Amino acid sequence: MKTFYEVTNVINDMGETSIEITGVVEAGKKPISFVKHERSEDIYVDYFDSKDEADRFVRDNQEA
């Protein structure tokens, strides 16, 4: 089993965003990233091979 880090990015209709590491997944292979479209927001969930990679993604998207 390998450890993967889940990052969730929520973007609402006003353009406001929230992004953070939301979980740790133990799996044989990397889970598939996905998007969920809700009425007033889009939720993007991505998976990363390392905590450093997930942290960098969060940091880069907070600064954007």
Distance CA 60, CA 8 (A): 14
How many domains does the structure of the chain reveal?
Answer: 1
Nearest C-alpha neighbor of 19 from the set 60, 50, 51, 52: 60
Per-residue pLDDT tens, the chain, 64 aa: give them: 999 999 999 999 998 999 999 999 999 999 999 999 999 999 999 999 999 999 999 999 987 6
Q: How far apart are the first and last CA of the chain?
A: 34
Residue 40 is predicted with a pLDDT of 96
Nearest C-alpha neighbor of 7 from the set 60, 62, 58, 64: 58
Distance CA 27, CA 31 (A): 8
Residue 64 is predicted with a pLDDT of 60
Give the residue numbers spanning the domain of 29.
2-63
Q: How many CA atoms lie within 13 A of 47 on its CB side?
A: 14
